[in-house]
Structure 1
Amino acid sequence: MAVYLADEQDLDIDAEDLLDLARHVLAERRVPGDMELALLLVDRDTIAALNAEHLGKDGPTDVLAFPIDEPGESPPDTPAILGDVVLCPAVAHEQAEGLGRTPHDELRLLTVHGILHLLGMDHAEPDEERAMFTLTDELLASHGRS
């Protein structure tokens, strides 16, 4: 599984931990090994522009997920790209304190959250939200044990 990280913002983050966490989530969710994932760390202006362009919403957000290929649907001998998870560490840092988490823990949670969106999970309905957030907690906990 190839996981790439592009850091296009100014805050210090633990890139290796986020990459390791992303690989862990993909392995735990049994994503085929030929799938690729990109984590993009951007500033508030960049994520606000993406939020407006793709979701029609004003202002910055914490994470956006852009799926590309479904696991197992790419033709043989072609790259399979799961998608991109775009994270805004500045927003994660701002909301972490109010949620009782460290900025790094918030960024880790958002990384898992974004990957689960790429894998087709959502939280529009209460039962979906419960399932997604339970799985997020389980994946974060199991990463700490692996």
Structure 2
Amino acid sequence: MTIQIDYEAERKLDIDYEKLASKVAAHILETEHCPYDVCVNLVITDNEEIKRVNTEFRSIGAPTDVLSFPMIPFETPADYSVIEGDDSYFDLDTEELILGDVMISVDKVYAQAEEYGHSTEREFSFLFAHSMLHLLGYDHMEPDEAAVMEAKQAKALEDLGITR
């Protein structure tokens, strides 16, 4: 598994975000029975840049905590049969499945950790777990979808011992 991290924010995270991202991604991929080595691009940015991207791609002119850009058009979450026989979802050099891109706002990590009364480690891990599930086709637009996704996020963090 490769997590390509681009750190674009001036404000530094006071956590080992590389280790956390790898740990969270590995656990999500294992629990979602991903049969492939994967790669994910993670951009750690600030409120200004995530607002710009949020405006451009979602027409929401406000900063958000995390954005996910899945590469695979899963019809059913984590149903990998959708890519069978289609090499276009794989990096030709590494043979890794390209799941997509994630953007996390450092400013939101700090603000939400304070707001919810937990660590920046827990907030970052929550946001990355949330985004990994999006990359695997999960969503939370409908109440039943949200319940499934929220349960998976909570279970992943609990399994990893990253609690409030």
TM over 0.5: yes
Structure 2 Cα separation of the partners of residues 4 and 24 of structure 1: 17
Matched, 1:30 2:42: no
Correspondence list, 1:4-23, <5 A: 4-9=4-9, 10-12=11-13, 13-15=15-17, 16-23=19-26
Matched, 1:91 2:108: yes
Partner of 1:53: 56
Give 5+ residue unaligned stretches, structure 1: none
Give 5+ residue unaligned stretches, structure 2: 74-79, 92-96
Q: Deviations over 1:17-66 (max 9, x none)?
A: 22222222122212232321122111111101110000000111000000
TM-score normalised to structure 2 length: 0.79
What letter corresponds to residue 8 of structure 1 in structure 2?
Answer: E
By relative contact order (CA 8 Å, sep 6+), the higher-ranking structure is: 2
Give the number of aligned pairs: 145
TM-score normalised to structure 1 length: 0.88
Q: Percent identical across equivalent pairs?
A: 32
Are 1:11 and 1:89, in contact at CA under 8 Å, matched by a contact in 2? yes
Q: Over the residues paired in the alignment, what is the CA RMSD in angstroms?
A: 2.1
Matched, 1:129 2:164: no
Structure 1 Cα separation of the partners of residues 50 and 88 of structure 2: 34
Structure 1 97/77 Cα, relative in aligned 2: closer, same or farther at 3 Å? closer
Partner of 1:2: 2
What letter corresponds to residue 87 of structure 2 in structure 1?
Answer: P
